[in-house]
């Protein structure tokens, strides 16, 4: 009787199920509709290093443009409208590179809501949270190591 009771407690209570974690290295793809009635589906996929390098010059301009506008605007709506107006060429350039759509098509057909959906899909597909977290961890570790090396290094006599 005792042995039967022990076998009962030793057996697994739940069937073993493999619960895989999606690897950050598995490419993700999403599709978004852009261009209203005259539009088309745009495939949003992970940006390659080459595409990042093409986008960086436009991205570098945006923070300075936005900071200048933030100083003069009090309302969030005013700020957003002014920022979009001031940085529109940079946003269009980024959208053009990332989506593969032509400049004229973007200007004439893409709505603000479609632009936001595209940017949201880009954010999700490219796993910017994962990238930022890894960079933060890497830089934090490097800074801690550098700090400990500086603290433990004996002063040099001159």
Residue-wise pLDDT for 23-64, tens only, equals: 555 667 888 998 888 888 988 888 888 888 888 887 777 777
Residue 136 forms part of a structural domain: no
Strand partners, 124: none
Domain count for the chain: 1
Residue 101 forms part of a structural domain: yes
- Quick one: which of 106, 97, 63, 100 has its CA closest to 83? 63
82 is in which domain, residue-wise?
29-131
Residue 11 forms part of a structural domain: no
Averaged confidence pLDDT in the chain = 76
Residue 119 forms part of a structural domain: yes
- Contact indicator for 45, 127 with CB cutoff of 8 Å: no
Residue 49 forms part of a structural domain: yes
Write out pLDDT tens, residues 94-130.
888 888 899 999 999 988 888 889 888 888 888 877 7
Q: What is this structure's pTM?
A: 0.58
pLDDT value of residue 14: 45
Calpha distance 17→23 (Å, rounded): 18
Calpha distance 40→34 (Å, rounded): 6
Residue 83 forms part of a structural domain: yes
Extended beta strands in 7-157, E state: 29-34, 40-45
Residue 15 forms part of a structural domain: no
Element (H or E) spanning 75, and its range?
none
pLDDT value of residue 21: 41
């Amino acid at each position: 009787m005792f042995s039967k009771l022990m076998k009962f407690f030793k057996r697994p209570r739940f069937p073993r199920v493999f619960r895989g974690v999606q690897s950050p290295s598995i490419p993700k793809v999403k599709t978004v509709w852009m261009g209203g009635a005259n539009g088309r589906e745009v495939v949003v996929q992970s940006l390659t290093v080459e595409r990042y390098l093409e986008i960086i010059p436009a991205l570098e301009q945006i923070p300075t443009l936005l900071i200048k506008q933030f100083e003069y605007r009090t309302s969030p709506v005013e700020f957003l409208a002014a920022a979009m107006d001031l940085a529109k060429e940079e946003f269009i350039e980024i959208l053009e590179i990332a989506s593969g759509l032509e400049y004229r098509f973007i200007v004439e057909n893409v709505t603000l809501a479609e632009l936001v959906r595209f940017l949201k899909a880009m954010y999700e597909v490219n796993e910017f949270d994962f990238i930022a977290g890894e960079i933060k961890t890497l830089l934090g570790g490097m800074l801690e190591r550098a700090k400990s090396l500086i603290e433990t290094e004996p002063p040099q006599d001159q």
